Structure 1
């Protein structure tokens, strides 16, 4: 009697495992087919749909160094009114709203191979990342995002100013 119960339990477990395996194979069939063909994981989308290029994050220390040496163009992605109220000294205003209106965003007087650092209102603000993406699509080669933005710059005691955009 005891062996009959064990046999029944083993058969039930086998049925559950088999059903789960069949469901898993069906659910992941495209991933498995790509793996069988030798395609790299995550590269199943056509070239037109592949991930867009993202600007690299840059830390406060590097931003300050590039700012002081004049090797980078700092671009404020916030609104013109916010820029007028306060911005990093020497930065240029290029609001995200303005950039999205342009078919190919252009920074006047900035070469495509210049180092560009976009910033906005800190870690909770994503305008600088979006502006960075647009600038990369427009052909700018070295685009970075200062995620700490104006608040981190100001908190470090670095120079800010107000003025017209």
Structure 2
């Protein structure tokens, strides 16, 4: 009975050692593959000469041949191409509004953008240390107001959209 117990403990120990060795081998292999793709080929940096050579060879898109200068013959049953039958270019979309950052006299920063309809959207309002933000969204006004409040100072920022640019009006009030 004691001998079978020793054999079981020895077998478990050998299996544990084999599993630990296998896991270590997998880990070392995985670490060795860092910097190379899955199939083992690594990407070495290009030399300056290789970069120059790759830049000097035309890409596949540039290799397409330009149409020849000689007019091609068109079958008589196909209509000639005129400016009225050529497709017109797609209309150009106006650029998306870009958020602008507005500094509020040391009390904080407002990030806002003009909308296509001339209204202003406040993206974010970040108070400076010692200030809190109070946003006046109750009125649903086209010109939002953000207040930065500290113990003794209130900085009010009113935003308007003028010619596609967010224009702030900043007013400071002290608590007396």
- TM-score bracket, shorter-length normalisation: 0.3 to 0.5
Taking structure 1 as the reference length, what is the TM-score of the superposition?
0.32
TM-score (norm 2): 0.30
Indicate the structure (1 or 2) with the bigger Cα radius of gyration: 2
Give the number of the structure whose residues are more often strand, by fraction. Answer: 2
